[in-house]
Structure 1
C-alpha cells in the first residue's frame, strides 16, 4: 500500500509540475503607456562618488480616468531603483522607501531634492553626463510609463 501511495503522490506531483511548466510558457507583459500620464523636466544626477546611487527627479502629471497607484520604478542602466521620500521617524527627518502613491485625475507630483525621488542603484559606468537614459514607472496592475531623463554630473543644477 505504501508503494501505491508513493507512486500516486509522485504522479500527482509530476502532473502539477507539468501544469506549472505550461503556465510559464505564456508570459504576459503589461503594455507600455498609461493613458493620461506625462512626465517633464526629467533628470538624473550621478553621485559624486562612483558606485553610490544616482538620484532621479521629474514632474509627473496624471489626467487619466482610472484611479491608480504608482508602485515601482526602473532606470535603464541601473541594477535597481527605489522610490524614496522623506518622513519623520523617532523625531528625526529621514529618507525612507515610498509607499504606493495614489493617482487620480488631476494629480501632479514633483520628484525633487529633499522630497520624493528615485534612487538608481549600481549605475552603469556607461551612463555619462550629457547623455540620456530611460525611467519606467510601474502602476498598480502592471502598466508602465517610460520617459527619457537627461544625465547630469553631481555638481550640476538639480
Structure 2
C-alpha cells in the first residue's frame, strides 16, 4: 500500500509539474487571444446565423435564420434576391379572423441596434414565389438581402426538410 501511495503521489507531482510548466508558456496567450477576438469580429454590419430554406419541389418556399446587427443603429432589410426565384417578398404571419395568414411586411425587417431579428416558420420570413427549380435537402441557395443604406448581405442558405407553417398567402392583404 505504501508503494501504491508513493506511485500515486509521484504521478500527481508529475502531472502538476507538467501543468505548472505549461503556465509560463501560456502567459503570452492573452495577447494572441485578443487579436483572435478582433479577427472574429464580423466585417459586415449585418450577418445571418443558421440560414436555411424549406425543401420544395416548385412553387413557393421560404428562407429562415436569425439576422444579427453588429452596429449601434437599427438596420432595415427592405428586400431580397436569389437566383432561385425572380419574385421574392419579405413576409410576416398575422392573425386574420380565425386564420393565420402571411402577407408582405410593410417597411421590411428592422433589426435593432446590437440585437437580432428571427426569421422562422410561422413568423417573419423571406418568401420565394414562382420557384422553378426543386430545393432538395442539402442544396446550397445563394441570397442577397437588400439593406436600406447598404451594404447588402450575401449568404448561402441550406435546403432542409420541414413540415408545417402552411399558412395561407393573402396577396390582397398587401399594403
Say which structure is richer in strand.
1
* Length, aligned pairs only: 122
Q: Give per-residue Cα distances to partners, 1:44-84, cap 9 Å, x unaligned.
A: 1133xx43211111111001234332111112321121111
CA RMSD of aligned residues (A): 2.6
Q: Where does the alignment leave 5 or more consecutive residues of structure 2 unmatched?
A: 1-41, 164-175
- Which TM-score applies when normalising by structure 1? 0.65
Runs of 4+ in 1 over 6 A off after TM superposition: none
Preserved CA contact (<8 Å) 2:51 2:156: yes
Instruction: Give the counterpart of 1:43 among 52, 68, 86.
Output: 52
Contact preservation (8 Å) 1:38, 1:62? yes
Query: Residue 139 of structure 1 is aligned with which of 147, 151, 165?
Result: 147
CA contact (8 A) 1:67 1:104 kept: yes
Distance change (3 Å), C-alpha of 1:69 and 1:53: same
- Taking the aligned partners of 1:144 and 1:34, their CA distance within structure 2 comes to 12
How far does residue 90 in structure 1 lie from its aligned partner after superposition?
4.7
**TM-score (normalised: structure 2):** 0.59
1:52 corresponds to which residue?
Answer: 59
Larger RCO (CA within 8 A; separation ≥ 6):
1
Is there any run of 5+ residues in structure 1 with no aligned partner, and where? 1-32
How far apart, CA to CA, are the structure 2 residues paired with 1:59 and 1:122? 24
Structure 1 residue 131: Cα displacement: 1.9
Distance 1:70 1:34 in 2: 18
